[in-house]
Structure 1
Amino acid sequence: MLFILGSLFSICTFAGIYKCTDINGKTDYQSKPCDPERKTVQINIKTGSSTELDQEKQKQDLAKKEQDESLEQEQTLKKHAQLKQDALSESAKNQFLIKNNPEKFSAFSIPPYDLDQLPDLIKNYQTRLPDIERLRRQAAEKALASNQCIRVEASELDGKSTKRSFVFSVSCSSGKSFYFTEQELTR
């Protein structure tokens, strides 16, 4: 009998006691955690210490939120860095084409964009900057392929562009101008 009583006492000791207080200030003590709408304090019978579980949960929630925000910020920075790298790669292709074909392209026909200092029109579409750089090159090449353009002077994103469809304008040394939609260039 003594053994059974000792066992029950040790189980209660390890289980802890919960002090539950409702919004009216009524307090109950119980061996299981309180309902979520009640303030919960866990009392350690061995040490006499107590832990306010609601505050612990708030601390844990706050720590998780801060961790999530930190991860989100890190992912945003990674995406920005990748976007910048992709745009620089496309710009390098444009500059290589211009440098190796000076008779077909003026030196400033496809000036590179800097992701950190974009013109207002391009800022609206900055998440697609690598596409813009690639499509500017394709628009210039398509104008040259028409045989109505001897030399490209400028290939730019046009103000008629929308998020659904870009429009590119190409100006030639012959005075001829071309307008190409994104769909025409990606066919």
Structure 2
Amino acid sequence: MKNKILILALCLCFDAEAGVYKCIDASGHSYYQASPCTEADKAVQINPKTGNKVDLNQLEDQQTQEAEQKKQLEQQHQAEEQARLEAIAQRRQLTQAQSALTQALVKQNPQQFSAYAIPPYDPDKLPPVVKPFEDRLPDIEKFRRLAAQKALASGQCQRVEADELTAKSTKDMLVILVNCSSGAGLYFNEAELKE
């Protein structure tokens, strides 16, 4: 008995920092060792200095859950980033389609539009007035075309010289200014253009 106590005391003193592992075998018997228990055994690490116990199986399960949560968060972030990039690509396609319609209108009606009356906004180099409304760029291009047509139909504008989004715009109400060759400047808001 004295030998067992002496051996246990030596083991505890020899490597106090590493800790002692309490293992429980398949038949429920407990035993102590300096190295971690095998996977088949239930493992509890005991700090010989403080007496604190750590259930290594529970710790491993917790670490596995945390790793899985981290993986899920990364996948969610990747999915959100992919959706954001797809939305940008779709917005650019819609913007290009609206710009193409506007440019076709300008080319077909050289008497009513100066050649550079409605240049398309470049999504990568938006003017400061347009930048806050970047997510509405397809609408902006469409409303610029509609505003020019409405200005010409009003009889107050013989030829469109410029057509731009104005600083009077808000997220919910875009405002377009059409400058005419006569010097007139006509403002049209989104509500008027949707009529």
TM-score normalised over the length of structure 2 = 0.72
CA distance in structure 2 between the aligned counterparts of 1:99 and 1:40, rounded to whole angstroms? 75
Moved over 6 A (4+): none
For 2:78, the equivalent position in structure 1 comes to 70
Residue 121 of structure 1 aligns to a residue in which SS?
coil
CA distance in structure 1 between the aligned counterparts of 2:124 and 2:163, rounded to whole angstroms? 21
CA distance in structure 2 between the aligned counterparts of 1:89 and 1:20, rounded to whole angstroms? 66
Q: Which blocks of at least 5 consecutive residues in structure 1 are unaligned?
A: 1-8, 10-15, 28-38, 43-50
Q: Check if 1:138 corresponds to 2:146.
A: yes
RMSD of aligned residue pairs (Cα, Å): 2.2
Q: Which blocks of at least 5 consecutive residues in structure 2 are unaligned?
A: 1-26, 28-39, 46-50
Report the residue type matching 1:148 in the other structure.
Answer: Q
How many Å apart are 1:121 and its aligned residue? 1.1
How many Å apart are 1:168 and its aligned residue? 0.8
How many Å apart are 1:25 and its aligned residue? 3.0
Report the residue type matching 1:25 in the other structure.
Answer: N
For 2:67, the equivalent position in structure 1 comes to 59
How many Å apart are 1:40 and its aligned residue? 5.5
Identity %: 45
TM-score normalised over the length of structure 1 = 0.75
Answer yes or no: is the 8 Å Cα contact 1:40–1:54 preserved in 2. no
For 1:32, the equivalent position in structure 2 comes to none
For 1:6, the equivalent position in structure 2 comes to none
For 1:41, the equivalent position in structure 2 comes to 57
Corresponding residue to 1:158 among 166, 169, 177: 166
Corresponding residue to 1:113 among 104, 121, 124: 121
